[in-house]
Amino acid sequence: MIKLKNVSKYFSEKKVVDQLSFSIEKGELFGFLGPNGAGKTTTILMMIGLLRPTEGEIWINNLNVLKNKKDVHAQIGVVFELPNLYVRSSIRDNLQLFGDLYGVSNSRIDEIMESLQLKKRQLEKVGKLSKGWRQRVLIARALLHKPKVLFLDEPTSGLDPNTTTLIRSYIKNLKKEGTTIVLTTHDMNEADELSDRVGIMNNGKFIEVDEPQKLKSKYGKNEVQIEYKENNEIITKNLPGDNEETAKEIDKLMSNGQIVSIHTKEASLADVFAVLTGRVLS
């Protein structure tokens, strides 16, 4: 569904994206990960036709993004992290405006509002909505024309747990229906939960592209976290898993009645990210 071939982007003499080549399959949810300044946003802007690559080519659904920009835009939906809605207009009016641009029926607007629980608040001004409700409107607007590809930039950043759960559930349903989704996020738990594959980017290049579980198996290390009493204090220590010395130490502490708790600590995507980039995210 998406293909990049030898894509680079320069700003003056600085190369921000460096000979990037990869593809995303139809119906796949691809997690686009990387620290600030890695080149993620620049790559996304090139993928949706808002920036011209210095080198290379990009296709969406077999359409060259630069040569067929209008046709490509008819097939994609985009949700940016920063809201770009008309705050003095109602939810309904915001959706109606974009619905008219895409030739979308009123029944489709009603359908999308119902699915994101916006119907009862459709006449409220967007400027009076919380960030979570605005995010629902942004997602509704991006999906009005039933795009084949959806780009989501930090879709749950700063949202309350209930809204986060609703939006993640909605994203999963979209994927089940066959929508190809590109997700950029700094939330490693979100990337792990939602992504079929993730690409970890640093300095304009992908360091690794694979399924989250395979990356965790390849780069992560399993540990055992123990809490035990020592001199009237609770000590927390991480020990290597599947290790004979660890087993001996735990056995000794248990024999002395010092153990408070034992937890297995499996590798996380955040651990993988730290190993590959040398930086830590949430």
Strand order in the sheet with 63-64: 14-24, 2-11, 55-60, 63-64
Q: What mean pLDDT value characterizes the chain? A: 90
Q: How far apart are CA 74 and CA 104, in angstroms?
A: 12
**Residues 60-69: contacts with CB within 8 Å, 24+ apart?**
60/1, 60/2, 60/149, 61/1, 61/148, 61/149
Q: How far apart are CA 66 and CA 47, in angstroms?
A: 9
Q: How far apart are CA 153 and CA 258, in angstroms?
A: 47
The alpha carbon of 99 is separated from its chain's Cα centroid by a whole number of angstroms, namely 26
242/63: higher pLDDT: 63
Q: Residues 49, 73: contact at Cβ < 8 Å?
A: yes
Handedness of CA 139, 144, 145, 148 (dihedral sign): positive
Mean pLDDT over 24-33 rounds to 95
Q: What is the pLDDT of residues 173-202, one digit of tens each?
A: 999 999 999 999 888 899 999 999 999 999
Torsion of CA 101, 107, 113, 119, to 10 degrees: 120
Say if residue 82's pLDDT is above 90: no
Cα angle vertex 111, ends 109, 113, to 5°?
A: 70
Q: What is the residue whose two structure tokens read 């080149």?
A: 39
Mean pLDDT over 58-87 rounds to 91
Q: What is the pLDDT of residues 223-280, one digit of tens each?
A: 888 898 888 889 898 888 777 888 888 888 889 888 888 877 777 888 888 888 876 5
Mean pLDDT over 43-58 rounds to 94
Q: What is the pLDDT of residues 113-134, one digit of tens each?
A: 999 999 999 999 999 999 889 9
Mean pLDDT over 25-53 rounds to 92
Whole-model pTM: value is 0.83
CB atoms within 10 A of CB 210: 16
| The predicted structure's pLDDT at residue 281 | 52
Mean pLDDT over 67-92 rounds to 90
Say if residue 32's pLDDT is above 70: yes
Mean pLDDT over 75-93 rounds to 89
What spatial distance separates the first Cα and last Cα of the chain, rounded to whole Å? 30
CB atoms within 10 A of CB 177: 9
Burial of residue 147 (CB within 10 Å: 0-12, 13-18, 19+) is: buried
Structure tokens at 191: 């990337």
Q: How far apart are CA 164 and CA 157, in angstroms?
A: 8
Dmax over CA atoms of the chain, in Å, equals 74
